[in-house]
Chain A
Amino acid sequence: GAVVSQHPSWVICKSGTSVKIECRSLDFQATTMFWYRQFPKQSLMLMATSNEGSKATYEQGVEKDKFLINHASLTLSTLTVTSAHPEDSSFYICSAGPGVGAGASVAGYTFGSGTRLTVV
């Protein structure tokens, strides 16, 4: 079935540094990738939608210069948290879909395993 590999699964970084999170669709082509953020005991909030080869569409209130999204290929999307601060500490998770290819999920959306970011 459809698999999205997300790395790293957890990262601790110093305030002011940048962190890159990768999501790869392993057996299908993800034309669209969604990035979510989840604070403790809260729901998944959509941050941005990216389509391969074009600029990401950011949700209201999400700083595009702080959260850089690159979707350069049909199997890889990256989220870079620039100049991270403690308030950026959260669980970041990607979702690919709908996909195309033999491995694409019937359901259309496949989540990565998530990245827990802690900024100290």
Chain B
Amino acid sequence: GENVEQHPSTLSVQEGDSAVIKCTYSDSASNYFPWYKQELGKRPQLIIDIRSNVGEKKDQRIAVTLNKTAKHFSLHITETQPEDSAVYFCAASRSEMRFGAGTRLTVKP
């Protein structure tokens, strides 16, 4: 089955800096790669996603890149703000969705 690895597990940046979180997946048939933001005790919130026929997608301060050959994808957050602090999960899906271990992002004001 699919195995998703996510790094780093924790990330601390200064407000205004960029943050990058990386994930790798094992199943070359996976075709959908979402990123979720989860605040304590709440459901994961989809922040951006990318499908396998696209290499990059951007939505304001958030971007995702996908390298199908290398089977890795990354989340980029620019101009970080304290409210970006949360746990971020990547996921890979062909049918069922499997999650990475999560990255706790802290943005220091």
Contact = CB atoms under 8 A, between A and B. Distances in A.
Interface string A36-60: 1000001111100100000000000
A95 to B, nearest CB: 7
Contacts of A49: 95-96
A78 to B, nearest CB: 18
B97 A46 contact: yes
B42 A34 contact: no
A114 B99 contact: no
Contacts of A114: 41-43
A57 to B, nearest CB: 9
Given A44-B44, A116-B41, A107 B97 contact: no
Contacts of A116: 41
Contacts of B95: 32, 49
A119 interface: no
A52 B93 CA distance: 20
Contacts of B98: 46
B71 to A, nearest CB: 19
Contacts of B49: 107
A15 interface: no
A34 B96 contact: yes
A99 interface: no
Contact of B97 (A34, A91, A112, A113): A34
A44 B96 CA distance: 12
B41 to A, nearest CB: 7
B26 to A, nearest CB: 15
Interface in B66-104: 89, 93, 95-102
Interface of B: 32, 34, 41-44, 46, 49, 89, 93, 95-102
12 contacts: A34-B96, A42-B102, A43-B89, A43-B99, A44-B99, A46-B98, A107-B49, A108-B32, A109-B34, A109-B97, A113-B42, A116-B41
Q: Which are the 9 A-B pairs with shortest beta-carbon distances?
A: A111-B43, A44-B99, A43-B101, A43-B99, A43-B102, A49-B96, A114-B43, A113-B43, A107-B49
